[in-house]
Structure 1
């Protein structure tokens, strides 16, 4: 009986399975998928999948070693420049190494439990058969995964066909490791949208009760408009009969699992972004003095800066939207409590307020900082200050 219950929990509903099927397939090829999903059955990564990951790790490591001996030799004319170039290479490899080990070999059981918690959340909210809700997340996931995959393939093909061997090695190596890391962070950003949509759905249930909905004739978009969400909520849910307090509790519970699994990736990403950016500045400044910075270096540095800034931007914006939805939840609960002086609806709203205050849904990175909209400004401010200080030390 217990075994059959465990098996039934591990079988994913079709909607949830299809929502993240593309990103899961690409991550499987790159050896960075957190779980194994075969015939909709989610389980730990198999031994063969872990061997595949080790082979990918070995290939990337050999590529980085090859880059060191074939391309970085031109920087030996200056010791500081050579150390900076080698340090940059090491940082990129360590970020890839830490990420691939963490997603594949650490927290295997917790990764499975997290996927199951997502399914339990949808079932508790009666959304497991709601194609419209999951189609929005599916669009976000498919677009981001497709762009990254096409970018990886196009870069590798172009480098293989048109570039010389030393240059081709560094382009393929850095692109392969960076896309693997960015794909995982892109999936993290998509999951933030997944939770935002569900808390917005809860808000729509409450909002429909306080302000009766009229026919908006809206349609689903990639930005999941509030009008469309209110229409979906009005068709299947009513505040008087829906357990919105339980929905909110399950959202925060599942989000806590998500945060504990992805905070390591955020820590590695931020540390790599700041450290590599500082070393890149030193390499560029010194390289210009010795006329060693060519078009490849400018393309590599620009691609690194822009791609990491875009990832940070998307994650921070989606975290900010998620937090604002919870602020709206609190306002809606207070509005309901101002109308009802007693009764089950007031008790339901009071429970929701207590849940939010007891377990604030913030994406905290090991308690050191919170990922939100303002953090992006703080991060850019820190990087800018560091760049100005470093330029003063190098040029003055």
Structure 2
């Protein structure tokens, strides 16, 4: 570790974990609110689901074009500038007069809300070698709690106040986080020498030369595609098959996010114990766990108990896969943490947007059975690919 860099203190680690959770939440506020938005603009379920897809595509693009800059410029400066655009896009979402404007605004929200992916390699860089998995797991826990909490909060706010008010509240939260980072986050200096073109070309070289990075990227993308296939149509599933109103469905879909807290706990635990087990064995287990969740969704997806058990299993499976993948790629390339994370997370959110897109149309045509088919497909492909990669 570079001695000129600050040490990773508990205060800094907590700041990165909390900030990661609050920033990443911007990408997920829309999911429980889709029913309310569809009613407000009088559009179909598949069309309004495009908001979630554009947010995920924006996040993938932000990962690819912005995050590598963390190896080239001072990270705190990048983060503070980015916050200005986050706040502006959230306010634009709140006042948008038409559905057509919501799509590009959602893209910008996703594009700018990538700050947690600067914090994760930062934690790995500043931590002592033996503490890297633990530090990454801790920041990831904050990020995951933010994802889950965002669904709970937006479902509740949407039911009580309306969907626009949620984005006003999000903008205020981002203002508070900006001040916390401005006064407390230390500066992290870059280690890459060269221009932006050379920086981006190095991504290609890393991807071409590291088979473990390619494998991790594909596993991550397929696992998140499976998870997104569940969460995006959930509110419509509750409306149509549980006979709930728009507001009640949004509220309950949000509360299901609390159930997913088991995934955040799994991430923290995995960060502590991952070095004690074979990573290939862990990844076989997590893939089977994701597939098992879809079997439960098939047989129990029309009851609250079945949905609850399935959510617990799919979140534990996906988040444990995430921590294991990131432990592998950061260990192989400590000098290029932001760039390998860019490759991995870009694939991750491309997979998420694909899962969202296909699942939305599958639900419209085949209802819940279509969603089960899509989610199971991604889980099976992930398991087969990983078993073949082990054999190779």
TM over 0.5: no
TM-score (norm 2): 0.28
Higher share in helix: 2
Structure number with bigger Rg: 1
